[in-house]
Amino acid sequence: MSYDLIIRGGSIADGSGAPLFDGDVAVDAGKIAAIGKVSGKGKEEVDAKGKLVTPGFVDIHTHYDGQATWEERLIPSSWHGVTTTAFGNCGVGFAPVRANDRQNLIDLMEGVEEIPGSALHAGLEWDWETFPDYLDALDRRSHDMDLCAQLPHAALRVFVMGDRALHLEDANADDINEMRAIACQAMRAGAFGFTTSRSLNHMSVKGDPTPTLRAREDELMGIAMGLKDAGTGVMQMIGEFTPDDRAEEIAMLHRIMRSSGRPLSIIITQRHRDPEGWRDQLAGIEVANAEGLEMRAQVAPRSIGSMYGLSLSQHAFYLHPSFKEIADKPLADKVAIMRSPNFRARLLAEKPVHPSQRVVDRSTNFDFTFPLGDPPDYEPPREKSIQNLAARAGRDPMDFVYDLLLENEGKNFLFSPNTNYAHYNLSRFE
């Protein structure tokens, strides 16, 4: 037989969980036609000996909302075998949008996902207003993977409510009806679903909370009913789920699912301040599924955190007034200035300036900040934390981390896992 494509001699991971096995994969007319020892010839043949052959990965949580409008290649995801991606997660994105709200959406994306505002300003063409217009803008480019664009709650809320959304005011009946209609329109135009955030960690680059933080149940219910009207769409949510409110939060999601009939996924992470709370969330999902509601968890297989460095956007000193004066200088110039004893003394004597204490604390959480190392160590032991390294050296952690940031001509990186790492290993969140 002849095939369009034969991938020969690779180590095949077929996605079933079965052990790897060596073999061939034949493709004909866009479909896998044979797996194993394939005889015959292919119009194209690929020697995959020593390489891994897998189905394409589906990444259900990305933030390519901007990049997908100006680039065909969605890297780095496509480098890693991702062939389908869903973006618009966490309630942040760029449609629908009015011209005078564009900056607010950029500020929110930069604050929540650390995508530089300068890149967004340079790349976004804003040749859309409604969500169907945005989908058309995506369609004007050919991409290296399939796209699932989701309707982000922050953009929707600001589009309908304007400054009232930014001030966290409650939506009124007219607002909710308009959101419902827009959600229905978006799903019918091809949106994959709707996403929202009720997380205190989600703030704009200015420190303002996400506009969706306090959205009430009637607003979320109205939008979910828009998905019901369209007969399609998945809901996705990230929330705080603190010990005091998670039972009611999960019960609210159950009520919304019962009324709308739409499936829903929630992001589950192990919070360091509440390391076993995720078990209650999983229990809530089990209750929903036992009732026939389609509820799923989004779980990261590794810790989630930040990279810090002088060549990156954040580190222990990025909120200090003296560092802000040199932040835009080339790396070599920053390093030279920071090696000055006078500048060092001035910077170490300062306090960070930011309206959110949560943001300040995040970049100086030295109990969970580590030298990244080369090769990178993404599961460092507790004794390698900046706090412990500084204590053993008899030094203040801020003074100690100052020197770490200057190592390798300022190219040194620090790693700070802030979820899924409460016990300093990856095996306890299971």
Q: What percent of the chain has pLDDT over 90?
A: 90
pTM score: 0.89
**In this structure, are 39 and 148 located in the same domain?**
no
**In this structure, are 42 and 78 located in the same domain?**
no
Split at pLDDT 50, 70, 90, the class of 206 is confident
**In this structure, are 363 and 374 located in the same domain?**
yes
**In this structure, are 20 and 111 located in the same domain?**
no
The CA distance from 412 to 311, in Å, is 9
The CA distance from 53 to 15, in Å, is 10
Express each pLDDT in 257-279 by its tens digit: 999 999 999 999 999 999 999 99
Say if 291 falls within a structural domain: no
Express each pLDDT in 298-353 by its tens digit: 998 889 889 999 998 899 999 999 999 999 999 999 999 999 999 999 999 999 99
Q: Which residues contact 73 (CB under 8 A, 6 or more apart)?
A: 143, 144
Residue 28 lies in domain: 2-55
Say if 429 falls within a structural domain: no
Q: What is the DSSP letter of 75?
A: T
**In this structure, are 371 and 393 located in the same domain?**
yes
**70, pLDDT greater than 80:** yes
Say if 184 falls within a structural domain: yes
Residue where one domain finishes, among candidates 216, 239, 262: 239
> How confident is the model at residue 427, as a pLDDT?
81
> How confident is the model at residue 370, as a pLDDT?
98
Residue where one domain finishes, among candidates 190, 221, 239: 239
CATH number at residue 212: 3.20.20.140
**In this structure, are 63 and 110 located in the same domain?**
yes
**In this structure, are 40 and 66 located in the same domain?**
no
Express each pLDDT in 345-397 by its tens digit: 999 999 999 888 888 898 999 999 999 999 999 999 999 999 999 999 999 99
CATH number at residue 38: 2.30.40.10
- Average pLDDT across the chain, whole number: 95
Split at pLDDT 50, 70, 90, the class of 428 is low
Residues 400-407: contacts with CB under 8 Å, at least 24 apart: 401/315, 401/316, 401/366, 401/369, 402/316, 402/317, 402/338, 402/344, 402/347, 402/348, 404/371, 405/308, 405/309, 405/310, 405/315, 405/316, 405/317, 405/338, 406/310, 406/335, 406/338, 406/339
Number of domains in the chain: 3
**30, pLDDT greater than 70:** yes
**In this structure, are 80 and 43 located in the same domain?**
no
**In this structure, are 310 and 381 located in the same domain?**
yes
Split at pLDDT 50, 70, 90, the class of 249 is very high
